[in-house]
Structure 1
Amino acid sequence: MLSVLLSLNLSHLGLWASGLILVLGFLKLIHLLLRRRMLARAMDSFPGPPTHWLFGHALEIQKTGSLDKVVSWAHQFPYAHPLWLGQFLGFLNIYEPDYVKAVYSRGDPKAADVYDFFLQWIGKGLLVLHGPKWYEHRKLLTPGFHYDVLKPYVAVFNNSTHAMLDKWEEKAREDKSFDIFCDVGHMALDSLMKCTFGKGNSGLSHRDNSYYLAVSDLTLLMQQRIESFQYHNDFIYWLTPHGRRFLRACQEAHDHTEFQPPFRQRMGPQAVTLSAPGPDQVIRERKAALQDEKEQEKIQNRRHLDFLDILLGARDESGIKLSDADLRAEVDTFMFEGHDTTTSGISWFLYCMALYPEHQSRCREEVCEILGDRDSFQWDDLGKMTYLTMCIKESLRLYPPVPQVYRQLSKPVNFVDGRSLPAGSLISLHIYALHRNSSVWPDSEVFDPLRFTPENVATRHPFAFMPFSAGPSIFMFLAGGGLAESFQEKPPNQNSQCESTRSGTLTVLPRSVACVQVNQLISQLSIHK
């Protein structure tokens, strides 16, 4: 009797649970339909390309490549057009400077529909934060990037760059094209490890290489998730093979920041390799060390402070510091953003130098004149590289490391042509299309560094060039300059299997590999093959 009652109760419980799931699913569907209706009405005055009944524009983007496809749409629809990723996520995709100014001169929050995808990976750092919390973190971190703080890092960047050039010296003897993206990525990661945690000059460990592969995997998975509407729901995504792969890659990336490169401790005749403590313990130990006056003096007298030291010392006017959770999020954010965008920017710059040897020659002449008989750059040299800087900016125009960013309007916006959007609308700033807008950049597909002479910059719209939200990376000057002095880059040879097509939503990545043929220079004018 008892078993019969129990089975009846379980049966009723199952029915109630099924009914609850159906009701919740129905309410979620109603919410999505109402939101779609609101977004569609908001963009009624903006014509755009036809949409698929289920996938929106996502299917065509995945088939043809998002970057060049959006550029072709930008030629058809001046100023802006609707961009639907599935049926429930719609953005107004903008790529005209006055439209960009109307939105990005304000303080609208980042679109949670996209940026919340990052939370599992990097937590609530500057990339994800918005509003007062963002300003609070930004204010605390800004002193750490003052020129006087950055100057000592030039030697660190030089060392990492020279290590990469040593590898390329060996590869140059083979007279073959090779993928530069991986080597540049390792160089950027090595620099970041030294800057973030005070890593020594021992080179990249197996764990560092695992982190590099994990970040590459996470970037591609994130791009795929943004463009695939069926992955937008967290619950569904974590159940898919792609979602589980994303979680595994997140764990790999977190293991890297949680456990610093092993250190060795002598115990009698045996040397035992120990894993360094996790970030929470590292933070506690660093905080304890800063309480000791001798240890604090030792840290302050170092040639340069690492990023974690700077974060620990940051405080506002009231003396409030970042919490341990905030510290970890900012370290993870710094590692991702500093590594990924720098790798993309340098790789495409070097590829441009390989394609346009006349500009490469002028950069080399400028760099050789500045260096003289020295083999490394100093801080004061950076401001003297005027032509190299123009070439870097032109490369960033054609291949911006961050091709697209998203906002959600907190209040209505009126555009220069009289059209408007209500509060709650979603905006996509397509930087890649903005930089190839032919009404702003004549012959926009042509590589022309003279676009960035002081005279041309002065007459250009201030929102026409936006490669980074916080300015170019100093890595690019050092790596590009070092190569200009030591090597000649050439396009891939005809027998190479390399591709140079672009893809990406988070960063502009080579669809296959970005290859150049590197020849070492035995003098300023002769080439050794």
Structure 2
Amino acid sequence: MKLHTICPGKALKNKHKKSRLALHMLNQRKANMNVTVNRMSVIAVVLGLPVVFLSGLLQGGPWRVLVVVATALAVAVGIAVAKLLLRHAWFTRRLSCFSTPRTHSWLIGHLGQMRDTEEGLLEVDSLIRTYGHSCCWFLGPFYHMVRVFHPDYTRPLLTASAAITVKDELFYGILRPWLGQSLLLSNGEEWSRRRRLLMPAFHFDILKGYVAVFNTSANTMHSKWMRLLSAGQGDLEMFQHVSLMTLDSLLKCAFSYNSCCQDTSSEYVSAIVELGVLIMERRQRILHHWDWLYWRTAQGKRFQRAADVVHSFTRGVVEQRRTLIHQQRVTESQDATTGDASQKQKRKDFIDIILAQDEEGHGLTDEEVQAETDTFMFAGHDTTASAICWALYNLACHTHFQERCRQEVMELMGDRAEPEIKWTDLSSLPFTTMCIKESLRLHSPVLAVTRQYTQDMDLPGDRTVPQGTICLVSIYGTHHNPTVWSDPLEFDPLRFDPANSRGRSPYAFIPFSSGPRNCIGQRFAMAELQVLVALTLLRFRLSPGVNPDATPDPCATSAPQGIRRLPQVVLRAEGGMWLQLEPLAPPDREGPSA
């Protein structure tokens, strides 16, 4: 057997190697412990700094605390101001391609230069004459706006895809507590969904049935006028009467609701007027755009009370309609069971359509129904009332056009036993329609619409509107632009004669806006305008009246009789619009019975 021997030198070498390895591991543990201790020390120091800092502040007394807090606030405000000034400088540079009217100062900008008065509208006329198509407008360093008032400039803004078009919060945001997230105020896919759901409510087949309602509501108003004239009241304020008439029509057409509001004062109409005044006041006060502050002011509390009145009224209308729809369905189900099919098919109205789609599971929620109802109630009666009043006023001031319209209506009526305008008659009133359109041009109920865009927008003349800029499309300015309309302050219905309209831009006349976000109810409004104007001229001769509580201003040049226009949410007349009415036939013959 062979024996293996171990060399003493090699064993000693292995022993030294193991010792070095153990020493290295020991040193590594010490290093790791030192790192851990150092980290814990740093954490302790960091956590202890606030304690030490606060202890130092408290030892220095309350004044040192106040100084530090004030310094921190000053730094925060300074950073915010710096960001605001940089943003203002960036927008100013990007918008330098647009002419800018003189401002009071860089800080105030054009704040306060455009009042909601007759003088404010005259200032718009001055801007149009000076700049022709557009100008830049700064509301302090906060908001940057481009005003456009020429068809070539309004076209790319109004025809932009709804996917990149946003309703700005500066103007439309203050409507939201009243109108909710409705079609008027929604954006993007939400807007597209609502538009698709509501479009069937304005189909021609639906509108045809509304014409009979317009006749009935007009007859009720005319009967009331006859009674007032018989009592010796010669001058009547149009907005008061016409607003109730359009509300009556709307409630019957959209909700099958008989309110009898023309015979009694309406708290709802009064609340609508007050909301319009408060909205215009709030729009002019930048600090009131801050909700937290506004709702604590006297104006904010008035707004909430008026909005509560409006919401309560529309909520009651919707609930009553829901109950009636349920009862009708029960009756229809019973008739189907018994085989009784003799009941006549009921005309569907606005609320039927939006409620039916809601119940099918792919329509509007209760909150959305409320918002759309509030919006349609306001837009469907207040804007139309404004348009009717101004049409009657313009015809009262131009008797030769008034007489020509009257002859056209009388020829249409012929020997009918009852003077009633039918759906098929509307296309047989060409000159009356021309007068209505000219009134909509001269006195548009809605003076402007505002938009923002999620991308830069190119305008003529190599001008670019940066993303996020507020674009104000001035309907009033476009309709009063002398480069588009000759003698724009004159009432001339012949502008809309087909022979005179050739070659005119379709964006020169935009009383209902245009493009994807145009007014969904414009056919409804035009039909009501035609019926009401035609029947009024058939029964009354109109002339400018006198406001018993005010003296006409001879300096107001907007109309022949010196009436002062009042731009609110819709265009009104300062002190009301007073007309003198003369009956053309005894009530028991051609006119409505009293």
**TM class by smaller structure:** 0.7 to 0.9
Question: Structure 2 vs 1, CA of residues 93 and 321 (structure 1 numbering), >3 Å: closer, same or farther?
Answer: same
Q: Which residue number in structure 2 is paired with residue 512 of structure 1?
A: 575
Q: Which residue number in structure 1 is paired with residue 451 of structure 2?
A: 407
Q: 2:447, 2:475 within 8 Å by CA — same for their partners in 1?
A: yes
Instruction: Name the aligned partner's letter for residue 534 of structure 2.
Output: G
Q: Deviations over 1:251-306 (max 9, x none)?
A: 1111111224xxxxxxxxxxxxxxxxxx4686588469658852898999454223
Q: 2:433, 2:530 within 8 Å by CA — same for their partners in 1?
A: yes
- Residue number among 333, 355, 358 corresponding to 1:312 in the alignment: 355
Tell whether 2:137 aligns with 1:83: yes
Instruction: Name the aligned partner's letter for residue 249 of structure 2.
Output: S
Q: Which residue number in structure 2 is paired with residue 397 of structure 1?
A: 441
Instruction: Name the aligned partner's letter for residue 306 of structure 1.
Output: D
Q: Which residue number in structure 1 is paired with residue 36 of structure 2?
A: none
Moved more, 121-130 or 170-179: 170-179
Supply the distance in 1 between the matched residues of 2:76 and 2:333 (Cα, whole angstroms): 60
Q: What TM-score, normalized by structure 2, do the two folds share?
A: 0.76
Supply the distance in 1 between the matched residues of 2:349 and 2:92 (Cα, whole angstroms): 48
Q: How far 1:45 sits from its partner (Å)?
A: 1.9
Q: 2:456, 2:467 within 8 Å by CA — same for their partners in 1?
A: yes
Q: What TM-score, normalized by structure 1, do the two folds share?
A: 0.85
- 1:303-382 superposed matches below 5 A: 303-314=346-357, 320-372=362-414, 373=416, 374-382=418-426
Supply the distance in 1 between the matched residues of 2:90 and 2:291 (Cα, whole angstroms): 23
Instruction: Name the aligned partner's letter for residue 70 of structure 1.
Output: V
Q: Which residue number in structure 1 is paired with residue 204 of structure 2?
A: 147
Supply the distance in 1 between the matched residues of 2:443 and 2:193 (Cα, whole angstroms): 31
Give unpaired runs (5+ residues) of structure 2. Answer: 1-57, 513-517, 553-562, 587-594
Moved more, 293-302 or 83-92: 293-302
Tell whether 2:147 aligns with 1:93: yes
Q: Deviations over 1:404-449 (max 9, x none)?
A: 1000022112222122122111100110011000111011111111
User: Residue 348 of structure 2 aligns to a residue in which SS?
Assistant: coil
Q: Deviations over 1:60-109 (max 9, x none)?
A: 32276432211211111121112234442231000010000121110222
- Residue number among 95, 98, 103 corresponding to 1:51 in the alignment: 103
Question: Structure 2 vs 1, CA of residues 513 and 80 (structure 1 numbering), >3 Å: closer, same or farther?
Answer: same
Supply the distance in 2 between the matched residues of 1:211 and 1:205 (Cα, whole angstroms): 14
Q: 2:547, 2:576 within 8 Å by CA — same for their partners in 1?
A: no
Q: Deviations over 1:301-321 (max 9, x none)?
A: 4542232112123479x9721
Moved more, 425-434 or 44-53: 44-53
Tell whether 2:220 aligns with 1:167: no
- Residue number among 188, 197, 208 corresponding to 2:255 in the alignment: 197
Instruction: Name the aligned partner's letter for residue 375 of structure 2.
Output: T
Question: Structure 2 vs 1, CA of residues 310 and 24 (structure 1 numbering), >3 Å: closer, same or farther?
Answer: farther
Supply the distance in 2 between the matched residues of 1:233 and 1:31 (Cα, whole angstroms): 19
Identity %: 33
Tell whether 2:503 aligns with 1:445: no
Question: Structure 2 vs 1, CA of residues 486 and 32 (structure 1 numbering), >3 Å: closer, same or farther?
Answer: farther
User: Residue 460 of structure 2 aligns to a residue in which SS?
Assistant: coil
Q: How far 1:35 sits from its partner (Å)?
A: 4.2
Q: 1:502, 1:509 within 8 Å by CA — same for their partners in 2?
A: yes
Question: Structure 2 vs 1, CA of residues 350 and 21 (structure 1 numbering), >3 Å: closer, same or farther?
Answer: farther
User: Residue 151 of structure 1 aligns to a residue in which SS?
Assistant: helix
Question: Structure 2 vs 1, CA of residues 27 and 399 (structure 1 numbering), >3 Å: closer, same or farther?
Answer: farther
Tell whether 2:96 aligns with 1:39: no
Q: How far 1:135 sits from its partner (Å)?
A: 1.3
Moved more, 102-111 or 222-231: 222-231
Tell whether 2:444 aligns with 1:387: no
Supply the distance in 2 between the matched residues of 1:518 and 1:299 (Cα, whole angstroms): 46
Q: Which residue number in structure 2 is paired with residue 61 of structure 1?
A: 114
- 1:181-330 superposed matches below 5 A: 181-200=239-258, 202-204=260-262, 209-260=266-317, 279=318, 283=322, 286=325, 290=329, 293-294=332-333, 301=344, 303-314=346-357, 320-330=362-372
User: Residue 580 of structure 2 aligns to a residue in which SS?
Assistant: strand
Supply the distance in 2 between the matched residues of 1:494 and 1:389 (Cα, whole angstroms): 28
Q: Which residue number in structure 1 is paired with residue 236 of structure 2?
A: 178
Moved more, 491-500 or 430-439: 491-500
Supply the distance in 1 between the matched residues of 2:197 and 2:503 (Cα, whole angstroms): 35
Question: Structure 2 vs 1, CA of residues 23 and 144 (structure 1 numbering), >3 Å: closer, same or farther?
Answer: farther
Q: Which residue number in structure 2 is paired with residue 265 of structure 1?
A: none
Q: Which residue number in structure 2 is paired with residue 102 of structure 1?
A: 156
Tell whether 2:126 aligns with 1:72: yes
Q: Which residue number in structure 2 is paired with residue 526 of structure 1?
A: none
Question: Structure 2 vs 1, CA of residues 22 and 383 (structure 1 numbering), >3 Å: closer, same or farther?
Answer: farther
Supply the distance in 1 between the matched residues of 2:251 and 2:168 (Cα, whole angstroms): 30
Supply the distance in 1 between the matched residues of 2:273 and 2:422 (Cα, whole angstroms): 31
Question: Structure 2 vs 1, CA of residues 184 and 367 (structure 1 numbering), >3 Å: closer, same or farther?
Answer: same
- 1:117-156 superposed matches below 5 A: 117-156=174-213
User: Residue 152 of structure 1 aligns to a residue in which SS?
Assistant: helix
Supply the distance in 2 between the matched residues of 1:141 and 1:112 (Cα, whole angstroms): 24
Question: Structure 2 vs 1, CA of residues 171 and 285 (structure 1 numbering), >3 Å: closer, same or farther?
Answer: closer
User: Residue 184 of structure 1 aligns to a residue in which SS?
Assistant: helix
Instruction: Name the aligned partner's letter for residue 481 of structure 1.
Output: A
Supply the distance in 2 between the matched residues of 1:27 and 1:154 (Cα, whole angstroms): 61
Question: What root-mean-square deviation, in Å, do the aligned CA atoms of Structure 1 and Structure 2 show?
Answer: 3.3
Q: 2:201, 2:349 within 8 Å by CA — same for their partners in 1?
A: no
